[in-house]
């Protein structure tokens, strides 16, 4: 029993010594690290102080060098004027004044030349502007849109209808109608609706014998379901109200309707409502 007690006491004593030894080692290491950090801090501070001192010394040396150079220049200027007579000094002063007067005269001449050139340029610009205005006034006047009249004297039996469908007796269906159908008898005279040039005379598969007249500003008038068109030729210029054809019944897609003239107006290739332009 005593032996076991002694062994336990010795074991506890050894553990305590290890702990105390470990703490001592830690304390020593901490002291060494603190000493190293403190030494580095002092070294950095010493370098900074040394650098500042070096900069101050350089600035003082620069100031001394500048003062020495200034003094040397002043001494050279003084020494160059020493020994000169009053006449020499006056002569140099006159030469300086002459040089200054020559520079001023050159400056005046230069300014005068610049003003003259500026005036010439302004006159040239004014002339060019005048020429441009004259050219603008010489341009051709704006061409007005043509005014159309009814190509026949008959009443409207089917009006222009682009947005609303109308019933076709020939096709037996509802469809759009991009022209005006004027009631007329066969061989009734068809007149040019406005001044223009005959563009084409053709037999269209749907519209029958058709005449197309070109007008100003991209307008075209189209006369369909004609009987004859021997009064005109392609390329011929016609006047408003001039006879160009006779009424027939040659339009296959409207053959079931009573005899009439199918009339259209186009602007830049697109169908427009003739009622807007017919006066």
As given in the structure block, the two tokens for residue 71 are: 């003094």
Domain extent listing, the chain: 156-277
Residues contacting residue 89 through CB under 8 Å, at least 6 positions apart: 81
Query: What pLDDT does 64 receive?
Result: 63
Residue 81 confidence class, pLDDT cut points 50, 70, 90: very low
Residue 269 confidence class, pLDDT cut points 50, 70, 90: very high
Distances (CA, A) of 137 to 143, 144, 169: 15, 18, 56
Query: What pLDDT does 61 receive?
Result: 56
- For residue 209, give the nearest of 178, 245, 255 by alpha carbon: 245
Q: For 9-23, 27-41, 113-127, 142-156, which range has the lowest pLDDT when averaged over its residues? A: 113-127
Distances (CA, A) of 216 to 78, 80, 240: 94, 94, 13
Query: What pLDDT does 185 receive?
Result: 95
Name the more confident of 218 and 93: 218
Q: Is the pLDDT of residue 93 over 60?
A: no
Residues contacting residue 53 through CB under 8 Å, at least 6 positions apart: none
| Dist. CA 108–CA 276, nearest whole Å | 72
Q: Is the pLDDT of residue 178 over 60?
A: yes
What CATH number labels 156-277? 2.70.70.10
For residues 198, 200, 201, 202, the Cα torsion angle rounded to the nearest 10 degrees is -170
Q: Is the pLDDT of residue 158 over 70?
A: yes
* Sign for the pseudo-dihedral over CA of 240, 246, 247, 253: negative
Q: Per-residue pLDDT tens for 242-251?
A: 999 999 999 9
Residue with tokens 């007149």: 191
Residue 168 confidence class, pLDDT cut points 50, 70, 90: confident
Q: How many residues does the chain have?
A: 279
Q: Is the pLDDT of residue 73 over 60?
A: no
CB 186 within 8 A of CB 248: yes
| Dist. CA 169–CA 186, nearest whole Å | 20
Q: Per-residue pLDDT tens for 194-234?
A: 999 999 999 999 999 999 999 999 999 999 999 999 999 99
Q: Judging by beta carbons within 10 Å of its beta carbon (0-12, 13-18, 19+), is residue 193 exposed, middle or buried?
A: buried
Based on DSSP, count helices (H) and strands (E) in the chain, helices before strands. 3, 12
| Strand blocks (E) in the chain | 156-158, 161-168, 173-177, 180-183, 189-191, 196-204, 208-214, 219-228, 237-238, 243-247, 260-267, 270-272
Residue 107 confidence class, pLDDT cut points 50, 70, 90: low
């Amino acid at each position: 029993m005593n032996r076991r007690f002694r062994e336990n006491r010795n074991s506890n004593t050894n553990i305590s010594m290890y702990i105390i030894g470990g703490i001592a080692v830690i304390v020593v290491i901490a002291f060494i690290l603190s000493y190293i950090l403190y030494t580095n801090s002092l070294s950095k501070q010493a370098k900074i102080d040394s650098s500042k001192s070096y900069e101050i010394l350089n600035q003082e040396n620069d100031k001394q060098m500048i003062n020495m150079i200034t003094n040397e220049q002043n001494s050279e200027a003084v020494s160059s004027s020493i020994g000169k007579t009053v006449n020499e000094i006056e002569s140099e002063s006159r030469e300086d004044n002459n040089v200054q007067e020559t520079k001023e005269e050159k400056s005046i001449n230069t300014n005068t030349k610049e003003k003259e050139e500026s005036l010439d340029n302004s006159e040239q610009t004014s002339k060019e502007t005048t020429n441009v205005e004259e050219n603008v006034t010489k341009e051709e006047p704006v061409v007005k849109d043509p005014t159309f009249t009814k190509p026949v004297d008959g009443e409207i039996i089917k009006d222009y209808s682009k947005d609303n469908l109308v019933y076709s007796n020939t096709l037996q269906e509802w469809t759009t109608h991009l022209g005006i159908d004027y009631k007329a008898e066969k061989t009734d005279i068809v007149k040019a609706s406005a001044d223009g040039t005959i563009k084409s005379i053709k037999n269209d598969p749907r519209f029958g014998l058709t005449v197309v007249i070109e007008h100003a500003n991209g307008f075209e008038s189209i006369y369909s379901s004609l009987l004859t068109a021997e009064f005109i030729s392609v390329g011929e210029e016609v006047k408003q109200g001039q006879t160009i054809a006779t009424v027939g019944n040659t339009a296959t897609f409207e053959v079931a309707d009573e005899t009439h003239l199918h009339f259209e107006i186009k602007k830049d290739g697109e169908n427009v409502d003739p009622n807007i332009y017919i006066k």
